[in-house]
Amino acid sequence: QKGGEQKVSDAVFIAMAFNKRRFYVFSHVDPIANAEESGDGAEQQEAVINRDILNEPPDAEDLLLTNMEGNENTESALGTEAILRTTMGDIHIRLFPDETPRTVENFCAHARNGYYDNVIFHRIIKSFMIQTGDPLGDGTGGESIWGGEFEDEFVRDLRHDRPFTVSMANAGPGTNGSQFFITTVPTPWLDNKHTVFGRVTRGMDVCSSMEAVKVDELDRPMNEISIVSIDIV
């Protein structure tokens, strides 16, 4: 006891969220109630933010519900341009966060976290596309920032109607993870099967040079080509 008040034990209970990279810590102490007693609005808001600490990249819905960020910061978090620094040169990509927010969020978070660093281009098919984004390097790996897979985002105005289109690789409907590819020719048969989330704006010559390399019977480059890093603007 101190000053006539009894010390309350701060019991802690920890629980894992189902099918998410998230855990919850429940404490006996309520920082919001303590802040309300003080009557300070700024202190109450800070208490809410400090209590609801996210241990995973929040998506647009999280930010909207918690009102912790404004629209301007949300757009900045998603990014509108990416620069792929590869062992064969830089590839500049315009992203479409308004049209495909989940896909761009996944890509940007992976890029910023270094998930794509040193990942190889494991599949290259001449007059078709160059593919990367698999940390295993064989086309069987990779996951989304939420763990597992996420849904497609097909947009009528974003189609595979031109070369240098950036699109998600998948194994069927709703199976997006981390792998993506860049087309080198128009590929309209991929519309409504793969999510288009970007276009190459500079570095087309780099894509063409990659497309021309020698590959083995599995379409894997004979000489390794990899992503050094990805900058999000």
Please confirm, yes or no, whether 181 is among the known catalytic residues.
yes
List beta partners, residue 27.
12
Q: Pick the catalytic residue from 121, 158, 190, 199.
A: 190
Please confirm, yes or no, whether 170 is among the known catalytic residues.
yes
Q: Pick the catalytic residue from 179, 194, 197, 199.
A: 194
Q: Pick the catalytic residue from 107, 121, 181, 197.
A: 181
Hunting for tokens 């050094």 — which residue is that?
228
The helix-helix angle for 101-112 and 71-78 (nearest 10°) equals: 60
Please confirm, yes or no, whether 128 is among the known catalytic residues.
yes
Q: Pick the catalytic residue from 106, 131, 176, 179.
A: 131
Q: Pick the catalytic residue from 21, 44, 94, 128.
A: 128
Q: Pick the catalytic residue from 123, 164, 176, 197.
A: 123
CA-closest candidate to residue 125, choices 193, 211, 191: 211
Please confirm, yes or no, whether 121 is among the known catalytic residues.
no
Report d(CA 160, CA 121) in Å as an integer.
20
Active site members? 123, 128, 131, 170, 181, 190, 194
